[in-house]
Structure 1
Amino acid sequence: MSKIIYLPRSLLRNFFPNLNRRFVSTSKKNNETIKAEICKTEPQAEKNWVCYGYDYNSKQADRNAMHSITFASITLCMVVGGFAWMYMPDYNLRDWAQREAFLELRRREQAGLPLIDPNIIDPAKIALPSDEELGDTEIII
């Protein structure tokens, strides 16, 4: 819920002197403001109670709702959720694939082979179409 704040015209004139010409006034009162009462207090409630927006009639219910929602959002969602997210299993096997890549690199270095073989698949095993079969097909490399 958004709150609209109405400032007195005298304050606006001090901060924005060029806006003086834009105000149309039909009365001689310069400090007219509109006051909307958002939080209705009970007779036994404190006089200067400012509600949190959960319960407009009861201070105790308003405070209880604010504390429980704050506890749930910070403690349960952020702390417990972050803990579960950090320690959840590696479903995509990213860690395993990285370990295997490092082991393969070490094996190829010790064997004196290039780190990445340009012919991963033996070219004799690949069957490519001939020029006659391709015809006018556009080849994009």
Structure 2
Amino acid sequence: MASHRQYMMTVASRLSRAEPLLQWEVLEYMLDVDMHMWSLRRSMANFDRIMSLLSGVSTIGKWMDGIRNWKNLVTTVLVHILFLILVYYPELIPPTILLYVFVVGVMNYQHRPRHPPYMDVKLSHADFANPDELVEEFDGFPTTKGTNIVRMR
């Protein structure tokens, strides 16, 4: 079984031919070589990613509840008509799903990221991290800090 370090070496050897050249530190950070190190900033960022994923499921659930309770008459009637059409013509299910995905993509096009994709400060919570959290995250193992600071953390 190959270790995480061997995978990093394989990726590093392939990226060594890329332009511009990447340093080992960049690859170790990208591939999370020090996975045994816990980071509050990374934990908060991962929690927000999970919550944003689950918020879509929650939104769909609320929308379906609104349809079930007839909160919006036009939406409820249109969804019931679409459901009946798909029951009578099941071969229309794949094109309907593709049309839905296309329409959502067109609607979200205006909200696409305008900054480079490799640096998303909001996604990594780097803008909200206080200096003590960053010092804790980049401190090595074993720590180089005093026992009072470790106790405080």
TM-score by length of 2: 0.25
Q: Which has the larger radius of gyration?
A: 1
Higher relative contact order (CA closer than 8 Å, sequence separation 6+): 2
